[in-house]
Amino acid sequence: MNRTMMPVRAVCPGSFDPITRGHLDIISRAAEVFSEVVVAVGHNTTKNYLFDFGERVELARDAIANLENVRVEPIRGLLVDFCRQHDARVIVKGVRFGSDFDYELQMSQLNRQLSGIETVLLPAGREYGTISSSMLREVAHNGADISAFVTAKVNAAVLAKIAEN
């Protein structure tokens, strides 16, 4: 069946502290499926961040610069409100393990009930399935090389932050 699809804007939300190659894998795969992807860099008041809000937004913007149909926007407040404000019909989330899936399934059901917005869950690529921003921050603090898991600019920024502290 040959159907013409309407352009669909998707949102990839996260705290991105820092943005990793795992995040970029999910974002670039979403960019292949959807006409536009908005990377929504959020701020959770219960989290302790390595990078401040503005730094996380700028590092994300730098990391996605080569993706034509992707842009980065800061988000404060509810994700579903952000989606409505940006005319996004889909939320895209990456999942690594069953625990990620269980959590994201609950969130997707709540988001759909609140707004009718659907969630697409993309499994993490094999090479990125075991990494998280918090894990990378921890191993970097202990002197490990994280350059295989982040862009060069992010790696330099992490090293600089660790040196500051």
Reading the block at residue 94, the tokens are 């990456």
With respect to residue 2, please indicate whether it lies within any of the assigned structural domains. Answer: no
Verify cis geometry, omega within 30 degrees of 0, for the bond prior to 7.
Answer: no
**If pLDDT is split at 50, 70 and 90, which confidence band does 1 have?**
very low
Q: Is residue 115 part of a domain?
A: yes
- Whether residue 32 is contained in a domain is answered as yes
* Model confidence pLDDT, tens digit, residues 98-155: 778 888 999 999 999 999 999 999 999 888 888 899 999 999 999 999 999 999 999 9
Q: Which of 148, 72, 83, 159 lies closest to 120 in space, CA to CA?
A: 83
Total number of domains constituting the chain: 1
Closest CA to 106 of 124, 97, 119, 87: 119
The residue range of the domain holding 61 is: 9-164
1 inside domain? no
Query: Which of 88 and 98 is assigned the larger pLDDT?
Result: 88
Query: What positions carry a catalytic annotation?
Result: 23, 47, 96, 133
Phi first, then psi, for residue 119 (nearest 5°) are: -120, 135
Give the model confidence (pLDDT) of 20-69 as tens digits: 999 999 999 999 999 999 999 999 888 899 999 999 999 999 999 999 99
Domain assignment present for residue 4? The answer is no
Residue 96 lies in a domain: yes
On whether residue 25 sits in a domain, the answer given is yes
User: Which CATH number goes with the domain that contains 106?
Assistant: 3.40.50.620
Q: What does pTM read for this prediction? A: 0.92
